[in-house]
């Protein structure tokens, strides 16, 4: 009955509806039938630039962390992005064990094999913050978030965009601690490979694939910082005691569109 105990634990963690949706993803291809609705939360993190004191257990991931990150559930393709410099991962370590991590991306974030989210030059994406089940409720998640956002803020970024499934009650509660209620919804319906997408004034119907993704700009689309300046060159994560040459660097500076 081990599977029953796991199912009960999963339901208690994320709720019955989200657990059923995740189970459906395991057995039914997404292109066949899928309905998803997300809250799009935009969080101003400029005030985090002054936050320089963090828990010493926090640091940026290195390639030596790959086995543990895989064991924590980070997908191999995400790690490929991370060590390809378009995504970075912050980790929380206790007694040599990674017990929490956060994934952050700039520029764009691919979802599945057909959808691509894009972000304004001074925005970045908080893709996920995860904490080991036995240590939840101890404030580790907010510590990871603040550690990462303060570093981004000191390197010229203004906002982070978090996309949360409306059925994921744990993530919604966690986000409510650091951001205002979401005012935008992103949703899509897929049937037999044909997708209908809606986000604010953005509408789309089509059969998209990896080579022809549906692109959409998320976050504050009316505050893209349209100026002639550029974001300053981000520096390596000096907050961490790690000096390994493989500490994941932040992406090179991006020209702000005119």
Q: Does residue 249 lie in a domain region? A: no
Domain containing residue 141: CATH number:
3.40.630.30
- What is the distance between the alpha carbons of residues 78 and 110, in angstroms, rounded to a whole number? 10
Question: What's the whole-number mean pLDDT along residues 227-247?
Answer: 37
Q: Does residue 129 lie in a domain region? A: yes
168 burial type by CB count under 10 A (0-12 exposed, 13-18 middle, 19+ buried): buried
Q: Does residue 160 lie in a domain region? A: yes
User: Per residue in 132-172, pLDDT tens?
Assistant: 988 988 999 999 999 999 999 999 999 999 999 988 888 88
pLDDT tier at 190 (50, 70, 90 boundaries)? Answer: very high
User: Per residue in 85-105, pLDDT tens?
Assistant: 668 899 999 999 999 999 999
Domain total in the chain: 1
Q: What is the pLDDT of residue 207?
A: 92
Pairing of strands 159-165, 123-131: parallel
Q: What is the pLDDT of residue 253?
A: 38
Q: Which residue has the higher pLDDT, 16 or 223?
A: 16
Q: Does residue 35 lie in a domain region? A: no
Q: Does residue 123 lie in a domain region? A: yes
Task: Please give the backbone phi and psi of residue 172, each rounded to the nearest 5 degrees, phi first.
Answer: -65, -40
- What is the distance between the alpha carbons of residues 44 and 87, in angstroms, rounded to a whole number? 20
Q: Does residue 200 lie in a domain region? A: no
- What is the distance between the alpha carbons of residues 218 and 224, in angstroms, rounded to a whole number? 11
């Amino acid at each position: 009955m081990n599977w029953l105990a796991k199912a009960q634990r999963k339901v208690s963690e994320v709720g019955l509806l989200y657990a059923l949706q995740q189970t459906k993803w395991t057995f039914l291809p997404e292109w066949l039938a899928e309905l998803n609705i997300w809250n799009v939360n935009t969080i101003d993190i400029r005030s985090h630039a002054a936050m320089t004191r963090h828990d010493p257990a926090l640091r940026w991931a290195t390639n030596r962390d790959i086995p543990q990150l895989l064991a924590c559930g980070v997908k191999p393709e995400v790690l490929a992005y991370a060590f390809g410099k378009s995504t970075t991962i912050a980790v929380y370590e206790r007694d040599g064990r990674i017990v929490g991590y956060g994934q952050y991306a700039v520029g764009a974030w691919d979802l599945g094999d057909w959808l691509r989210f894009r972000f304004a030059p001074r925005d970045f994406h908080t893709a996920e913050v995860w904490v080991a089940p036995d240590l939840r409720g101890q404030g580790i998640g907010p510590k990871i978030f603040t550690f990462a956002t303060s570093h981004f803020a000191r390197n010229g970024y203004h906002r982070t965009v978090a996309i949360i499934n409306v059925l994921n009650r744990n993530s919604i509660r966690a986000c409510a601690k650091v951001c205002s209620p979401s005012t935008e919804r992103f949703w899509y319906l897929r049937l037999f490979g044909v997708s209908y997408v809606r986000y604010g004034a953005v509408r789309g119907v089509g059969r998209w694939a990896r080579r022809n993704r549906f692109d959409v700009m998320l976050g504050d689309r009316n505050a893209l910082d349209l100026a002639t300046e550029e974001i300053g060159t981000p520096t390596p994560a000096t907050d961490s005691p790690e000096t390994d040459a493989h500490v994941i660097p932040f992406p090179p500076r991006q020209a702000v569109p005119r």
